[in-house]
Amino acid sequence: MQSHAPTTPFGRRSLTLAHVASQMVATTRPPEKVVHKWKIFHAICTARPRLGVSERSLSVLNALLTFHPETALTGEDDLIVFPSNYQLSLRAHGMPASTLRRHLAVLVDAGLVVRRDSPNGKRYARKGSAGEIELAFGFDISPLVVRSEEFESLAADIEAEARALKLVRERITLCRRDIGKMIATGIEEGVPTRRGGQGPADWQEVHAAFRSIIDQIPRTATRQELEPIAEELSQLADDVLNLLETHIKTKNPSANESHSERHIQNSNTDPLIDLEPSLREGRAARAEPTPQAPRVAEGTYPLGMVLSACPDIVDYAKGGISNWRDFLATAAVVRSMLGISPSAWEEAQTILGETPAAIVVACILQRGTAIRSAGGYLRGLTRKAEAGEFSLGPILMSQINSHLNEKRRA
């Protein structure tokens, strides 16, 4: 007597057209087809976002596959596994029964497995006189064989998209680094930005254009969203490089010689690069006969913590930031980019201290266009510090928490 293949689920679970479609797929597997169950499982894991299943659901599918004794799944074999919920829970790392049932339903709805429920809802197999399985009730994993090409194609598409996204992210990172350091070099070397009435007014305008592009980057971005941003950054990088190259080509030999001498002198003295003549003159008047290394103010936060809160400042460091001297020198460059006047900078250093003032500048840079006037913001904080109403701690912790929240959302 021929056995009847069950179509409907046991109990109060309803039958949907999607379930019927999955059962149709399961019955159309070619007998000669053979797939490696763990390779196809890996493809399903990669294609998970397109299939609408979670990691926990896949852990249940993994447990189901362990109950099939063979590694190769063929179109002519009986592909029904029939573990009890208790056995399945053990192989799913102790997953609670209620959670297990929910994820089994997800696998059925996604068409990865098909229910073959017995008359009483139990999962079991009936064997013949020779010990072979004549009839089994449980979960049919035939869709893995029938849809193997679909899963592999989805996995390949997702992997290709991930590679493309990684490449565009790397391109953006390289452009950000190049532009930041080239702007710093342009300011430090006094490279003009406008020739014959053409080009940006000054390096602050170039930096503002740079930050406006960076601020367009979404917290969780797709490749399609990042590609136009990468194009803008690449074009800006070419423009900034052209400014530097044009300056090198137009300099005369005498200017080269005097500039090189001045650069050597500057690199051997105060590591804080003074970018404004008035500020340089003011410091020279206050300088003591014996030059001293920059003093880190008492109570300064760890450098690693500051860089975690304000990572963007690293883009403007010539050789990276490995100590406070590098940080202070880079902050001096960034200060000029942000349009903070020498008087506001000098006042902040006097009242806040050299290192806290540099940390505030890094925080201002990190917040980007959220602060309209960097100089006015710095003066406001300086007034608060003078009145004893300012502390760096809340600002740094706010930045760190913001980065953590972005990572969680990503």
The secondary element (H helix, E strand) that includes residue 134 is strand 133-140
How far is 175 from 172, CA to CA, in rounded Å?
5
CATH 1.10.10 fits domain 17-146: yes
Local confidence pLDDT in tens for the 410 residues of the chain: 345 455 555 445 555 655 555 655 656 667 778 899 999 999 999 999 999 999 999 999 999 999 998 899 887 777 889 999 899 999 999 999 999 999 999 998 888 998 887 777 788 788 776 767 778 888 989 889 888 999 999 999 999 999 999 999 999 999 998 998 898 888 888 888 877 667 777 888 888 889 889 888 887 888 999 999 999 999 999 999 998 998 888 875 544 444 444 444 444 444 343 444 444 444 444 444 444 434 434 346 888 888 888 888 988 887 788 899 999 989 988 888 888 888 889 999 999 889 999 999 999 988 877 788 888 899 999 998 888 888 888 888 888 888 777 766 65
Phi–psi pair at 276, nearest 5 degrees: -120, 130
Structure tokens at 8: 């409907």
How far is 274 from 261, CA to CA, in rounded Å?
16
Domain locations along the chain: 17-146, 162-253, 277-284+298-409
Q: Is 138 helix (H, G, I), strand (E, B) or coil?
A: strand
Terminal CA-CA length for the chain: 57
Nearest partner of 334 among 307, 306, 315, judged by Cα: 315
Which residues have a Cβ under 8 Å from the Cβ of 203 and sit 6 or more positions away? 183, 186, 187, 191, 193, 336, 337
How far is 221 from 212, CA to CA, in rounded Å?
17
Q: Do residues 107 and 58 touch, judged by C-beta distance below 8 A?
A: no
